[in-house]
Amino acid sequence: MRRTLTLLIAALALAACGSSDDSEALDWTAAKDPAGANGGLAWADAQTGEVHLPDGVTLAADRAIRSFVVAGAGAYVVDKDSESLVEVTADGARATGAYVNKGAKASPNGRYLAFIDPKAGPKFEGTTHQLTSVVVDLKTGKEVLRSTRGMGDPEEDDLTNLYESAAYGVLAVSDETAWFSVPDGGVLSVDLASGKVSSIRSSDLSDENNPWATPRLSPPTPGGPANSDRSWAIYHVVKPDPAQSTDPAVTFPHDELESADGSRLVPRADAENWYLKQWVDDTTVAGFANTGLDDPEMVKNTRSSSLLTCTVPGGACDSVPDSEYAILPEPNLLE
């Protein structure tokens, strides 16, 4: 495949540890044996904040949440209303003092947590603060990075306009590196062992050759990530369904799975429609059944959605009970 990405890695590397850039490090819980979401299916109820870990343990955040990751001694959730980042363990829920409006990410092993805090930096005007990139080592309970690098200059830039027009967020976190897209147009690459930061100029953040990109089949499958060994990938399919709507402009997902040899598998979902989202492991994919069927003005027969898992190569699927408001953890790579 022709490489479309040009990376210019700056010679300057900063050792960014602890507290910096006018903001102070927070107190974080040190987990003796941090665990991530790579051991099986993890999901959460967006309305109640109940988090279901891969080992079968259930944690209670006791709040509506917009996103979560499995990391440290349990999970970290983002409060739907306040955008507060909350640690959830078997001992209960604890606000960390941090805020997240773009979604946090965790390393596959659950040791590192990365996010951009919209309130930690110096105040610019109104409710706008300079954004702050943060990486936490949840095994030691210490911050690897806290920096406003690449977030604009409060003395020279209109940060309100900059943040409204710029794309920014955590791109990905591996067990060794975290990547941030920052408003100045660059990418920060953070070495998790040392805290050193390198600046990368990327012409295409979504290019599949980027180290932060989710694996894809080659040539790429329409819209769908592949499993880690690229033997199977999600193949997004949408089409009208006269049984659900007489309007041909209304389409519903009927995703398939494509193998590396080009053959396609229709999962046995036992549902009106289904949308496949992310891989749990190399043979199991998770998604949602009966999506978009809750509006009686749009569909003939309303149905509640549920979490769904399907396997390859057989295509068998199972619905997760009581998962109408399920959300999946934030992926560690950019999708």
Cα–Cα distance, 64 to 282 (Å, whole number): 31
DSSP, collapsed to helix, strand or coil, labels residue 159 as: helix
pLDDT at 170 over 90: yes
Cα–Cα distance, 288 to 302 (Å, whole number): 15
With left for phi above 0 and alpha for psi between -120 and 50, is residue 112 left, alpha or beta?
Answer: beta
User: What pLDDT, on a 0 to 100 scale, did the predictor assign at position 2?
Assistant: 35
User: What pLDDT, on a 0 to 100 scale, did the predictor assign at position 285?
Assistant: 98
From first CA to last CA, the distance across the chain in angstroms is: 19
User: What pLDDT, on a 0 to 100 scale, did the predictor assign at position 223?
Assistant: 62
Cα–Cα distance, 289 to 301 (Å, whole number): 14
Chain centroid to Cα 11, Å, comes to 30
Q: Which of 9-18, 216-225, 254-263, 322-331 has the lowest mean pLDDT?
A: 9-18
Which is more confident, 294 or 152? Answer: 152
Q: What is the pLDDT of residues 213-270, one digit of tens each?
A: 898 887 655 668 999 999 999 999 999 988 888 888 889 999 999 999 999 999 999 9
Q: What is the pLDDT of residues 100-124, one digit of tens each?
A: 999 999 999 999 999 999 999 999 9
User: What pLDDT, on a 0 to 100 scale, did the predictor assign at position 219?
Assistant: 66
User: What pLDDT, on a 0 to 100 scale, did the predictor assign at position 191?
Assistant: 98
User: What pLDDT, on a 0 to 100 scale, did the predictor assign at position 10?
Assistant: 37
Which is more confident, 13 or 141? Answer: 141
Query: What one-letter code names the amino acid at 43?
Result: W
